[in-house]
Structure 1
Amino acid sequence: MNRIGTGVAITGCGSAAPKAVFTNHHLSQIVETSDEWISSRTGMKTRRLASTQESLSQMSAEAAQNAIAMAGLSATEIDLIILATSTPDDLFGSASKIQGLLGATRAVAFDLTAACSGFVFALITAAQYIRTGVYQNVVVIGADVLSRWVDWSDRTTCVLFGDGAGAVVCQGIDTGDRLLAFEMYSDGSQNNSLNLAYQGQAKSLVEELEVSSGTYQPITMNGREVYRFAVAKVPEAIEKAMFRAGITSDQIDWLLLHQANQRIMDAVAKRLKLPSEKVLSNIEKYGNTSAASIPLALDEAVRTGKVQAGDLIAASGFGAGLTWGAALFHWG
């Protein structure tokens, strides 16, 4: 039965990461860098890298399973699965594979691509299906295996990225709405600042008919431009969401940002006048896991007892596209 005007609650979270730990010391053996150089500029010490035996689909299913268990549901009660990723196992999409691994036989599943903003965009998308009464129980997954697309000889990018998956369960409720407000933005004029682009060469099929044949090239990034963009746009998006929700920054319990760079997170917190102890960060252990970074950090904070039921979280994702967005929600 469709229930128009249903509220949204985020009732479970889960995460998964590859076994292999890749340290700054390991990186210093590949490119000219050091632990001090990387950690002082990014806040990163280690990251996880997926082996040839570990897939995005398996990690995503594990994260989703943990989130479904926390929400007190079974996989067969899930109506919809949204996978936010830029690195699927299959270019046609990996969400359906995850649905099969979970045994979520009633769920429809699809991929959503918005790079490092992907999880926030997927969360907002899930909320619309719930609010319009179409679906009741939705799993939102953020997962990426960026190690597949890193140029390990490029010092400006290879030190940044790691692999992982995080998930939440969103449910329809009749007692208010726990997702208070959101903002979403795109600026394609700055698209070349961060790319994982296709590159092809002409391949002749028959006379006067050619097609492009190639593959995706490693990640390229203009770090300075991305930093400037994030520090300017992310606080603005969060402030607009706060205005929509009618709240002030002193009411926020936790700032949960895409884990791109500790310096960016510190700068955003300062702009919002939030103390550093309110910033959720696990970038030191996982690096930049793209769409996975926000749910990974959330799951860790919930399971260690840092985030409590009812806490108000300001979340924001930002990255390639360029895209950025913010969501304000009460946990649990």
Structure 2
Amino acid sequence: MIERRLSGVRRVPVLEGVAGWVPPRVVANDELPAHWQTDDTWVRRRTGIGTRHWVDEGTSTGDLALEAARGALAMAGSPLVDTVLVATSTPDHPMPAMAPVLASRLGLGSVAAFDVSAVCSGFVYGLATAAGMIAGGLAERVLLVAADVYSTLVSPDDRGAGVVFADGAGAVVLRAGEPGEPGSLLAFDLGSDGEGHDLITVPAGGARDRAEPGRYEPVDRYFRMSGREVFQHAVTRMTESSLAVLKTAGWAVEDVQRVVAHQANARILSAVGTRLSIPDDRIVSNIERVGNTGAASIPLALAHAVERGEVHAGERVLLTAFGGGFTWGSVAMVWPDLPSA
């Protein structure tokens, strides 16, 4: 586990733009496949989700990432960055990484560009990566995009994952700034536990598949998750990580004015809030309308919170996530005064 406070360094990342993007196709609970044998009440009771967005044929992760990136750059007031990071579990291709292609589509030239792979914790890991590059003088302005299209990765016969996972993208622009100024990211906590690697996984499709011909079935190329076991791990790790990053930042739980957690499931969000003793009105959530969008969930929730006026300049904000690997992480930051979305 890594815990770091950035107030002791001269350069810290400062948030200056955020945007989200979801595909236009909205799928309500009553429109889910009939063979899943669900209804609106059943889905809402178990997940808190009412609608989600799925891509249409011909739309890829990169297309969603492009739209979110454009929005974040527009809010930041400049299309110029020197580093592009993309967090995703559903890349357009196994190789090359998505970030160089995205940089090219944005017309950014020969900037540094690479992907971050930490499943649903990818955005938090990406923030930490950007922070390290800015602190070390390797970057001045970083575009971080998180995007996933889980509707293409979940088996058509997997009701449990199918009702939860959705498609979306979120992006932020970070610039080098001074510790303590509005928008600054102050502290990080990162961790992992590879013993849980098989509880959130896509077993086939990689080098292991090619190294052991005949081992995997076609269904093994789809996403799978052991929901009950993951629930407990997610609640425990996000709670512990949140407390660790607050300690590193020198904040008490009572100091936190907004919590933006990975939008995994409404029951997980509620359980984390309860364990942290944070009131429901301080927890930002958009899962009811967009579902679980993987790595995109935190920046997409932030973008929607800005649109709805739910987060304000100067507020102390806690970000926390949990994903496959297992991976988890948290960030403590002070919210900036952003232009209207």
> TM tier, shorter chain?
over 0.9
Alignment of 1:54 with 2:59, yes or no, is yes
**What is the RMSD of the two structures over their aligned residues, measured on CA atoms?**
2.1
Distance in 1 between the 2:180 and 2:255 partners?
18
Distance in 1 between the 2:28 and 2:103 partners?
33
> How has the CA–CA distance of structure 1 residues 103 and 162 changed in structure 2, closer, same or farther, with 3 Å as cutoff?
same
Verify the 8 A CA contact 1:145 1:162 in the aligned structure 2.
yes
Distance in 1 between the 2:293 and 2:14 partners?
25
Verify the 8 A CA contact 2:13 2:130 in the aligned structure 1.
no
Verify the 8 A CA contact 1:14 1:299 in the aligned structure 2.
yes
Match of 1:68 among 73, 79, 84: 73
Letter in structure 2 aligned against 1:89: D
> How has the CA–CA distance of structure 1 residues 201 and 105 changed in structure 2, closer, same or farther, with 3 Å as cutoff?
closer
Q: How much has 1:211 moved relative to structure 2? A: 6.9
Distance in 2 between the 1:245 and 1:28 partners?
46
Alignment of 1:89 with 2:92, yes or no, is yes
| Corresponding residue number in structure 1 for 2:250 | 246
| Corresponding residue number in structure 2 for 1:307 | 311
Alignment of 1:281 with 2:296, yes or no, is no
> How has the CA–CA distance of structure 1 residues 137 and 24 changed in structure 2, closer, same or farther, with 3 Å as cutoff?
same
Distance in 2 between the 1:182 and 1:123 partners?
9
Tell me the percent identity. Answer: 38
Letter in structure 1 aligned against 2:56: S
Distance in 2 between the 1:243 and 1:156 partners?
36
Alignment of 1:11 with 2:16, yes or no, is yes
Alignment of 1:189 with 2:195, yes or no, is yes
Q: Give a deviation string over 1:15-71, Cα, whole Å, max 9, x none.
A: 111111111111252311221111011101111101122221121111111111111
> How has the CA–CA distance of structure 1 residues 322 and 200 changed in structure 2, closer, same or farther, with 3 Å as cutoff?
closer
Distance in 2 between the 1:79 and 1:173 partners?
15
Alignment of 1:224 with 2:228, yes or no, is yes
| Corresponding residue number in structure 2 for 1:326 | 330
| Corresponding residue number in structure 2 for 1:207 | none
| Corresponding residue number in structure 2 for 1:258 | 262
Q: Give a deviation string over 1:174-232, Cα, whole Å, max 9, x none.
A: 3546111111111111111111121589999xxxxx87488761111111111010111
Alignment of 1:154 with 2:161, yes or no, is no
Letter in structure 2 aligned against 1:302: V
Identify unmatched segments of 5+ residues in structure 2: 1-8, 337-341
Verify the 8 A CA contact 2:154 2:162 in the aligned structure 1.
yes
- What is the SS of the residue equivalent to 2:244? helix
Letter in structure 2 aligned against 1:273: S
Letter in structure 2 aligned against 1:233: R
Match of 1:119 among 119, 123, 127: 123
Distance in 1 between the 2:207 and 2:125 partners?
33
Verify the 8 A CA contact 1:95 1:109 in the aligned structure 2.
yes
Distance in 2 between the 1:134 and 1:261 partners?
37
Identify unmatched segments of 5+ residues in structure 1: 205-209
Verify the 8 A CA contact 1:28 1:35 in the aligned structure 2.
no
Verify the 8 A CA contact 1:258 1:293 in the aligned structure 2.
yes
Verify the 8 A CA contact 2:27 2:53 in the aligned structure 1.
yes
Verify the 8 A CA contact 1:119 1:292 in the aligned structure 2.
yes
> How has the CA–CA distance of structure 1 residues 244 and 150 changed in structure 2, closer, same or farther, with 3 Å as cutoff?
same
Q: How much has 1:284 moved relative to structure 2? A: 0.6
> How has the CA–CA distance of structure 1 residues 166 and 199 changed in structure 2, closer, same or farther, with 3 Å as cutoff?
closer
| Corresponding residue number in structure 2 for 1:98 | 102
Verify the 8 A CA contact 1:9 1:331 in the aligned structure 2.
no
Distance in 2 between the 1:241 and 1:117 partners?
15
Q: How much has 1:12 moved relative to structure 2? A: 0.5
Equivalent residues, number: 322
- Farther off after superposition, 192-201 or 7-16: 192-201
Distance in 2 between the 1:124 and 1:174 partners?
16
> How has the CA–CA distance of structure 1 residues 45 and 121 changed in structure 2, closer, same or farther, with 3 Å as cutoff?
same
| Corresponding residue number in structure 2 for 1:168 | 172
TM-score scaled to structure 1, two decimals? 0.92
| Corresponding residue number in structure 2 for 1:35 | 40
TM-score scaled to structure 2, two decimals? 0.90
